[in-house]
Amino acid sequence: MRRSALENKEMRESDAWEKSLKKFSEISFEGIYHPTPVHPRLTEIEAAIEPYIDQAYNGTITPQEALDGAERDANKILKD
């Protein structure tokens, strides 16, 4: 949810705000809710970056190496 929407007076005074959006925005900003990104190639991107996460977690590469590799491979998928 965009901050500009959160600051909209009409929305904040609406029934939808009181019934659900208020709580939804709270859990979103507190880091409790993490929406899954939507992209047609998300499965490919996740498969490409997962090995880097595993390797960094296991200490076979540094976190920076994992980030660099994941970024490179994700960008390659997005460009194809």
Is residue 45 within 8 A of residue 51, CB to CB? The reply is no
Measure the CA–CA gap between 17 and 33, rounded to whole angstroms.
17
pLDDT higher than 80, residue 15 = yes
Per DSSP, the residues of 34-59 read: -PPP--TTHHHHHHHHHHHHHHHHHT
Considering the domain architecture, whether residues 30 and 1 belong to the same structural domain is answered as yes
Counted domains in the chain: 2
Where residue 1 falls among pLDDT bands split at 50, 70, 90?
A: low
Considering the domain architecture, whether residues 22 and 50 belong to the same structural domain is answered as no
pLDDT tens for 25-37 read: 888 777 777 777 7
2-10 mean pLDDT: 81
Measure the CA–CA gap between 38 and 24, rounded to whole angstroms.
19
Considering the domain architecture, whether residues 48 and 31 belong to the same structural domain is answered as no
Among 22, 28, 18, residue whose Cα is nearest residue 6: 22
Domain span at residue 22?
Answer: 1-35
